[in-house]
Amino acid sequence: MQRGARLTDLRKRVLELIWDSHAPIGAYDLIDKLSRARADDGAGSRVAPPTVYRALDFLIDQGLVHRIESLNAFVGCAEPERPHRGYFLICDGCGCAHELAGGALDRDLRRHADDLKFEVRQITIEVAGLCADCRTPADA
């Protein structure tokens, strides 16, 4: 973990649930899964939304998870060992999100912004379409 941060049991469980598939998952789906697991374990009480949102904020800050803005959902980071911005191809068919490395794209965007003396505050690139598995032969 960066900066001596600690991966608590809840943070670890949220991360595991996010990594269960390549499909982005919403915070309330995470809350439901965590709450069901608590009920199955006999703990009984529902997990509070602020608790899950704090865990998500922590995982994003640590570079372990990305937020997909257009879906208001979360997905595991493909390269958590390297600080970077995540760009995504999101399938409209199956919902999978594939992270792209943004090196050249990052450089081009920054260069164009600098040329225009534009101060970049946030970059969000999410491309919707169909993955190879969801495309029909007519799409090809």
CA–CA dist 111, 73 (Å, integer): 30
Q: With 60 as the cut, is the pLDDT of residue 140 above it? A: no
Residue ranges and CATH numbers for the domains of the chain are: 2-139 (1.10.10.10)
Contact 62, 5 (CB under 8 A): yes
* Amino acid present at 60: I
Q: With 80 as the cut, is the pLDDT of residue 45 above it? A: no
The residues pairing with 129 across neighbouring beta strands, listed in sequence order, are: 91
DSSP state of 116: T
In this prediction the pTM is 0.83
Closest residue by Cα to residue 95 from 122, 47, 128: 128
CA–CA dist 38, 17 (Å, integer): 14
Residue 53 pLDDT: 96
Residue 2 pLDDT: 56
Instruction: Give whichever of 42-51, 109-118, 119-128 has the largest mean pLDDT.
Output: 109-118
Residue 101 pLDDT: 78
Q: Which H, E and C letters describe 65-113, residue by residue? A: EEEEHHHCEEEECCCCCCCCCCEEEEECCCCCEEEECCHHHHHHHHHHH
DSSP state of 42: T
Higher pLDDT, residue 108 or 103: 108
CA–CA dist 73, 8 (Å, integer): 21
Q: How many CA atoms lie within 13 A of 1 on its CB side?
A: 12
